[in-house]
Amino acid sequence: MEFSSSLLENAVSEFAKLPGIGKKTALRLVLHLLKQDPGNVAAFGEAVLKMRREIKFCERCYNVADATTCAICANPLRKQELICVVENIRDVIAIESTQQFSGIYHVLGGIISPLDGIGPDQLTIEPLIQRIPKEKTEELIFALNPNIQGDTTIYYIQKKLQGTPVKITTIARGIAFGGELEYADEMTLARSITNRLPVEKYVQH
């Protein structure tokens, strides 16, 4: 693409660095901003700069935070003895959006994946192990993606916690609501039969 303005070209090439944004989309976004009020564009640019400069990671759970402790850990209404272990911040947001979880979190920052060169030491597993006796955690719920790496991570942490008096659970796996049996993979279908539930638990009123 040929631009007659280097200011435009710079802005477009910065946008085009974002994942899933090509040159044409980047141009569309930049021309949209160009039509906006300068105040709105300043608000956009400054929100991005401020976010990167000032955002912190919670010292306790490694979630994003505005202060040294995140809003969830700092909330006295949340059950502090119930920790939900997730892979990343996006999972925290997904679970929070359900408004069904009243405990706190622990963000691993990834999952064990030897093929990608990610071992336990690159994750926040050690801090998690240390939290449990310190915070008198009663239950650890693993909410990891159901795949080999997720299972390996659960297995590794479970091993590390042998002898620690903490209940370890994982989110239910099975056929998603609205899903169709015939399109489910064999692993999911097999597990959903093995871990079948009594009907009174299934149909919630």
Residues that bind a second copy (CB under 8 A): 1-8, 10-11, 13-15, 17-21, 25, 27-34, 36, 38, 40-55, 58, 63-66, 70-72, 88-90, 92-93, 96-97, 99
Alpha carbons 133 and 91: distance in angstroms, whole number = 25
182: left (phi over 0), alpha (psi -120 to 50) or beta: alpha
Pick 63 or 124: Cβ nearer a second copy: 63
Nearer to a second copy, 101 or 156 (CB): 101
Could you tell me the smallest distance in angstroms from the CB atom of residue 5 to a second copy?
A: 4
In the bound complex, what is the minimum distance in angstroms from residue 199's beta carbon to a second copy?
32
**CB distance 128 to 141 below 8 Å:** no
Distance CA 200, CA 17 (A): 51
Q: Which residues contact 53 (CB under 8 A, 6 or more apart)?
A: none
Both tokens of 31, joined, read 């021309």
Bridge-based pairing of strands 56-57 and 64-65 is antiparallel
* Residue (98 or 162) nearer to a second copy, CB: 98
- Beta carbon of residue 187, minimum distance to a second copy (angstroms, whole number): 27
| Cα gap 108→92, rounded to integer Å | 11
Q: Compute the least distance from the CB of residue 128 to a second copy, in Å.
A: 18
Compare residues 40 and 164 and give the one whose CB is closer to a second copy: 40
The single-letter DSSP state of residue 118 is B
Nearer to a second copy, 100 or 162 (CB): 100
Q: Please report how close the Cβ of residue 117 comes to a second copy at its closest, in angstroms.
A: 16
